[in-house]
Amino acid sequence: MSSNDAFPVLPQWLTAEKKNVPVKLRPFGTAAEDLAVSFRMARRPELISKLLVLCALTADDEAIDQQFLLDLPVSMRVCALMTLAAVSDSSPFSWQVQCSAAACGQQNEFDLTAEQITSLAAEQLGKEILSTVIDGVRAELRRPTGRDQMCWLTQSAATLGEAMVQSVLVSPPLDALLADGQSFDSIALKIDEAMDAFDPLLSLHVNVLCPQCGASTEVSPDLAGAALERLSRAQRVAIGDVHRLASHYHWSESEIIRLPQWRRESYLEMIEAGA
């Protein structure tokens, strides 16, 4: 197993006494069920779960329990998703950013690799719980999970903020902090500040220097969005391969998609060459 198809390392507190722990990722677009994934219609947490369920494997190539993947912290799910996207295309992920200087406004580009992103997440993963102080009250926080995100999808705009705070607040209960005289906005702000250091991928900020004027622009790249776009592109390529091979050789979709990538490419090269 090469480094680019290894599932991001999971902390001991998350995997202790767990079976069927993911250790690797098969390339997306190499199984018939990959072609049935709808990137346009699915809500993002559901789509990420679907992709990881399809492609995450144990050391013995066994499937992973979907419940385990739902209980992964959001940042670990993003790392796994970006690693999966890098299996099919190992180039860095790129984003466009416009210089914030009024006199400049130049369009620039910055890159991040899957390895850089997973390394950033790993810095704090040794801790399961964060102990912090919210306006003089000792509090404990945990990372939000995929299951939390699924719950948030059911909330209205009016209740979403409270649901998110309650998800990560281990103790004391939110009601106790509110009864202590703190406002909800103050509590939420303190939690956001603490989580920025505890789980930096939740709201990653990158300062991009403009090569034209030297000004620094702070941006928040959509990590999961970049990975999903790359995986969607891999699916479109696989569907295109199936179309060309089926049109030429009249093989079925399942027969074509099961071909090793090098054989699929060899047949496509022969078609291009007019063989």
Q: How far apart are CA 17 and CA 186, in angstroms?
A: 38
Asked whether the predicted pLDDT for residue 3 surpasses 60, the reply is no
Residues 202-232, buried b or exposed e (16+ Cβ, 10 A)?
bebeeebebeeeeeebebebebbebbbebbb
Count CB neighbours of 102 within 10 A: 7
Amino acid at 139: A
| Burial class for 2, CB neighbours closer than 10 Å (0-12, 13-18, 19+) | exposed
What are the pLDDT digits (tens) for 163-205? 999 999 999 999 988 887 888 999 999 999 999 989 989 889 9
With cut-offs at 50, 70 and 90, classify the pLDDT of residue 275.
Answer: low
Structure-derived torsion over alpha carbons of residues 58, 222, 88, 46, reported in degrees to the nearest 10:
50
What are the pLDDT digits (tens) for 201-258? 988 999 999 998 989 999 999 999 999 999 999 999 999 999 999 999 999 998 898 8
Which pLDDT belongs to residue 4? 54
| Burial class for 84, CB neighbours closer than 10 Å (0-12, 13-18, 19+) | buried
pTM above 0.85, yes or no: yes
Q: How far apart are CA 143 and CA 165, in angstroms?
A: 11
Q: How many Å is the maximal CA-CA distance in the chain?
A: 78
What are the pLDDT digits (tens) for 128-137? 999 999 888 8
Cα–chain-centroid distance for residue 61? 22
